[in-house]
Chains A and B, each alone.
Chain A
Amino acid sequence: MLTLKFVLRNLARHPLRNALTVLGIAISIMAFGLLRTTVEAWYAGVSASAANRLVTRNAISLVFPLPIAYAGKIRAVEGVTHLSWGNWFGAYYVDEKNFFANFTVDMRSYLDLYPEYVIADDQKAALLRDRKGMAVGAKLARRFGWKLGDTVPLKGTIYPGDWNVVVRAIYTGRYPNTDETQAFFHWDYLNERMKVERPSRADHVGFYMIGVDRAENAARVAGDIDARFRNSLAETLTETEQAFQLGFISMSEAIIMAIRLVSGIVIVIIMAVAANTMAMSARERMGEFATLKALGFGGGYVALLVTGEALALSLLGGAAGCALSVPVTRVIAHVLGDYFPVFLLSGETLALQGAAAAVVGLVAGALPALRARRVRIADVLGR
């Protein structure tokens, strides 16, 4: 207890320097947390996917469609309980800069397959009744100020032309990591217009979403589906929703690697700052340490004092950094909302921030503590 008091009292000896060090550590710990949150945000789609859902797409690549006639054949595969389909629609609202994720889907089956999109019953009924109806995420609706019943003019890019859809439902996420920035409207609406305007593109879907009875069966069902369409004009590639989402991320792996690397560098930077402060305090106090030793305290106790001081500094900084991370994450989630639909500070990140602070304290205190332990009474007091 006395030792702890000793350590804390020592911190008060250089208030400015120690305050600056704590501030530096706090900022770096916050930066570390933000970078980790960024990486996690990248994986949000993966963590939000269910193990018993499969995605079937054209084996050549996602830009090639699959005939709607496949639906019946896929449904007949043993183990398939749900089947829905959709297209990446890729339209924008008023200006190209207003990019958001929008799909056309087979609405009824899609909502069955994705219970995490929570829609009030009356809105759901209205959505299913209106062929031009659209469901939008709560965050997206806030971003553009859309309300129920608003007609939204979308500009098609992949499907050219003006598409006037009506907001019939606003969904919220069942889980914190559910993406609330998407919009869906009826595939039937798209298909009917395609039949008139571009018959060659009608009756095609971008992907099938499949619900499997048990997650253990997913691999077998995927194999069965692909076998069924082998050597056809449109061969399929079926994978779990998770693998499908991971595919997108692995393509941006280099950037994620860079962010991870940088979050390592930030820890090294704080270590340099904290070690610097500790080296200075220890150097100034060699005389005191020698006196303590002369009084009979052991080298270990002196080292403990130095290490304790380093730890106290870094933990104070770490706590401040964690506290800072919370509001800053909110601000960033707002600024980068277009890129990251989900930007949440996770408990794991907070724990890692704390651990990083502890490690920084121990490492920064190590060398000065060693020097303090080795200090020879005669050398210092004899001066």
Chain B
Amino acid sequence: MASLFSYSLRNMLARRLTTALTVGGMALVVFVFAAMLMLSEGLRTTLVLTGSPDNVVLLRQGAKTEMESSVDRDQAPLAESLPQVARAADGGPLAARELVVLITLNKRGTTKPSNVVIRGIGPHSLELRPQVKLKEGRMPRFGTSEIIAGESIARRFSGTGIGESLRFGLRDWTVVGIFEAGATGFSSEVWGDADQLMAAFRRSSYSVVVARMNERDGPSGLDGLRAGLAADPRLQLEGKRETRFYEEQSEMMAKFLGVLGTMLPAIFSLGAIIGAMITMHAAVANRVREIGTLRAIGFQRRDILRAFLLESLLLGASGGGIGLLLASTLQWVTISTMNFQTFSELAFSFTLSPRIAVWSLLFGTGMGCLGGILPAIKASRLVIVDALRAA
């Protein structure tokens, strides 16, 4: 086996240009394959991490996004007082009435406008989102025109750095802090006092109420809450677990990336498999005599099959490895794009998971195997006499 392995390996090295071209082509295909998977994974983790499973989002019935939803001023306290809502340290409900709207901001150094989410928060908003932490500056004071910006926003949009100000709703809003929220959707938001923002935007109702569920109710708490909402005709609201809610926010985007992520590598891999096939066919054709000699000195047909298959597997595996290595550098790249469902900016990065790494290597090896199988069979079927006679 060891001698077979070194035979295959040295055969690859014998024709360096051809090997390099084949491996290079495969590496690019694996790169695209891994990059697409990493993009989907990045989107998924961003949106899953944005929600926390203990929180529930209350929206107007039928509303799919926070922007479409509205919760009237008189509905909010009724919803917060449901028994399934946890209590805060001050004895009141651990819930936040929030306003979510889009504002148009220009990217730094350009006049290209993008939609950014601005979230009006309540006193408990931060407590409900432990993943959000103040990075620089301070929190906005309630009752003032002060705002804080998520770090992906502050970096990219003009007027959102600390000490800068934005103008909308006939008022100037000063940025007093930058918050970090890891790889969550909150990093792409601007936060300010909900009541101040509502006054500026002439809105009479909140968008959503976010509440922490009581721990003692366990998973059935949500059903209880929904029953409570349904029982009260004044509450035309529905409750969704926050994790589930954010996942739904990107379903279209995820489907799009999914289609792109399967179609592109599928088409590309055909090209690479053909490349591997050409290389392996040539490897067999150049070595007909050699194969005949090997058979004559006692190597079996299956040994020949194994040797050539091994060679193509090595080609595929090294292509996979190089492609994966290239793709792993993408982890430092952050993509910001519009979420089709909410029309707002969302920043997320390529995320490499062990599952993706394994899949990419398997994909590379699989391409090598598919490309090499026919030539290897052809090689193993050679008749010794004919092979030795070949020029």
A24 CB → nearest B CB, Å: 4
List residues of chain A with CB within 8 A of the CB of B101: 60-61, 63-64
Given contacts A23-B274, A265-B28, A268-B28, contact A250 B21 (CB under 8 A): no
The residue that B115 contacts in the complex, of A17, A61, A200, A259, with Cβ under 8 A, is A61
CB pair A273–B25 under 8 Å, yes or no, is: yes
Q: In whole angstroms, how far apart are the Cα atoms of A31 and B202 in the complex?
A: 50
List residues of chain A with CB within 8 A of the CB of B18: 276, 279-280
Given contacts A60-B103, A272-B24, A276-B275, contact A335 B259 (CB under 8 A): yes
Given contacts A266-B268, A273-B278, A280-B282, contact A336 B62 (CB under 8 A): no
Q: In whole angstroms, how far apart are the Cα atoms of A231 and B168 in the complex?
A: 10
Given contacts A157-B62, A252-B338, A265-B31, contact A272 B21 (CB under 8 A): yes
Q: For chain B, residues 298 to 341, give those with C-beta under 8 angstroms from any C-beta of chain A.
A: 335-338
Question: Taking the complex as formed, is B34 at the interface, i.e. its CB lies under 8 A from any CB of chain A?
Answer: no
Question: Taking the complex as formed, is A59 at the interface, i.e. its CB lies under 8 A from any CB of chain B?
Answer: yes
A300 CB → nearest B CB, Å: 23
List residues of chain A with CB within 8 A of the CB of B343: 62, 251
Q: In whole angstroms, how far apart are the Cα atoms of A34 and B259 in the complex?
A: 13
List residues of chain A with CB within 8 A of the CB of B35: 258
Q: In whole angstroms, how far apart are the Cα atoms of A64 and B267 in the complex?
A: 43
Given contacts A160-B62, A277-B278, contact A200 B22 (CB under 8 A): no
List residues of chain A with CB within 8 A of the CB of B104: 59-62, 237
CB pair A20–B277 under 8 Å, yes or no, is: yes
CB pair B282–A30 under 8 Å, yes or no, is: no
Q: Which residue of A lies closest to B23 (CB)?
A: A272
Q: How many residues of A contact B (CB 8 A)?
A: 57
CB pair A96–B64 under 8 Å, yes or no, is: yes
Q: In whole angstroms, how far apart are the Cα atoms of A265 and B104 in the complex?
A: 34
Q: For chain B, give the interface size range.
A: 35 or more
CB pair B278–A269 under 8 Å, yes or no, is: no
Given contacts A21-B278, A277-B278, contact A269 B62 (CB under 8 A): no
Q: In whole angstroms, how far apart are the Cα atoms of A64 and B169 in the complex?
A: 11
| Residue of A96, A156, A253, A276 with most partner-chain B CB within 10 A | A276
Q: For chain B, residues 186 to 215, give those with C-beta under 8 angstroms from any C-beta of chain A.
A: 201-202, 204
Q: In whole angstroms, how far apart are the Cα atoms of A252 and B24 in the complex?
A: 30
Question: Taking the complex as formed, is A339 at the interface, i.e. its CB lies under 8 A from any CB of chain B?
Answer: yes
Question: Taking the complex as formed, is B89 at the interface, i.e. its CB lies under 8 A from any CB of chain A?
Answer: no
Given contacts A28-B271, A273-B274, A275-B21, contact A17 B282 (CB under 8 A): yes
List residues of chain A with CB within 8 A of the CB of B21: 272-273, 275-276, 279
A349 CB → nearest B CB, Å: 16
Contact pattern, B 66-88, Cβ under 8 Å of A = 1, otherwise 0: 01100000000000000000000
Given contacts A60-B201, A276-B278, contact A269 B271 (CB under 8 A): yes
List residues of chain B with CB within 8 A of the CB of A272: 21-22, 24-25, 28, 275
Given contacts A62-B343, A156-B62, A269-B28, contact A250 B103 (CB under 8 A): no
Q: In whole angstroms, how far apart are the Cα atoms of A254 and B35 in the complex?
A: 14
Q: In whole angstroms, how far apart are the Cα atoms of A99 and B18 in the complex?
A: 49
The residue that B267 contacts in the complex, of A31, A157, A247, A254, with Cβ under 8 A, is A31
List residues of chain B with CB within 8 A of the CB of A44: none
Q: For chain B, residues 160 to 174, give those with C-beta under 8 angstroms from any C-beta of chain A.
A: 168-170
CB pair A253–B337 under 8 Å, yes or no, is: yes
Q: In whole angstroms, how far apart are the Cα atoms of A279 and B279 in the complex?
A: 11
| Across the A-B interface, the 7 shortest Cβ-Cβ residue pairs | A251-B338, A272-B25, A24-B274, A61-B102, A273-B275, A276-B21, A254-B337
Identify 11 new A-B residue pairs, CB closer than 8 A, beyond the known A31-B264, A258-B39.
A27-B267, A27-B270, A60-B101, A63-B67, A160-B62, A237-B104, A250-B114, A254-B335, A262-B264, A270-B271, A273-B278
Q: Can you give 21 contacting A-B residue pairs, CB < 8 Å? A: A20-B277, A27-B271, A60-B101, A60-B201, A61-B102, A61-B104, A62-B115, A96-B64, A158-B68, A235-B170, A248-B338, A254-B335, A254-B337, A255-B335, A258-B335, A262-B32, A268-B28, A269-B272, A273-B271, A273-B272, A273-B275
